[in-house]
Amino acid sequence: MSDLFDLKDKTIVITGGGGVLCSTMALALAEAGAKIAVLDLIEAAAAKIADQINSAGGRAITVKCNVLDKASLQTALEKINAELGKIDILINGAGGNKKEATTSPDLSFFDLPSEALQFVFNLNFIGTLLPSQVFGKEMAESGGGIILNISSMCAFSPLTKIPGYSAAKAAVSNFTQWLAVHVNQNYSKDIRVNAIAPGFFLTEQNRFLLTDEKTGKLTARGKTIIDHTPMGRFGQPEELIGTAMWLLSDAAKFVTGIVVPVDGGFSAFSGV
């Protein structure tokens, strides 16, 4: 079993590596013996995680990178190759929403600025596609590799208030399937592309949408989510690790083109 899930000495690139969910995965994968390139637009956030890994005896490097800039991604690739070697795994974790792209009593759908919607769509979808081009090309040339995308529950059913984010994550899920087929048919049968669709986890992005900043109690939106989650709680970042380990290892050697919900039953519940 240990061989089946072995990730020792694999070089793993994680975009958005300074965020709550991806930093948790980075720390766990490093503990499993992988070499981690922590990519983030905010260099200090990436450095904090890389420092934790290195202090614990692992191997990690910090790479400041803009996932919407192909030249930035190419520079990152060259640095990773020079310091950690050939890339085995890419986790596309960069993403997020924006207040200006969210409907509210003060901002109707009809007034959402196109610039904000475009930013959210680009960050989540184009910010998944471009790293897959740059780092995936190396996998195609070497004949093997794994790409893991981060989708969302709103890819299955759109969530209220966030039309741009919902549309972008639906695009990520669709692209996951498309790319899995494309690389197998055109480059290598040994490249796998899958996605995880997290349910509701408290992150810096959504914390004060789901809980009251002053009291810590659930907001109306947070209560609705809990009421529609059969397990009756938010997820913990550590609860993504098992699914990630499975999809990134030989334990999932014949698994490609799927999106796995990790959601406490949210997607299974009709509300009745």
Q: Which residues are catalytic?
A: 165
> Among 65, 195, 193, 68, which residue's Cα sits nearest to residue 139?
193
Rounded CA gap, 230 and 212, in Å? 22
Q: Are 201 and 237 in contact (CB under 8 A)?
A: yes
Strands across the sheet containing 11-15? 59-64, 35-40, 11-15, 89-92, 145-150, 191-198, 259-262
How is residue 1 written in tokens?
């079993």
14, 26 contact by CB (below 8 A): yes
Instruction: Enter the DSSP assignment of 100.
Output: G
Residue with token string 């039953």:
265
148 strand-pairing partners? 91, 194
Sequence-separated contacts (24+) of 214-221 with Cβ below 8 Å:
none
Task: Return all residues near 3 (Cβ < 8 A) that are at least 6 apart.
Answer: 250
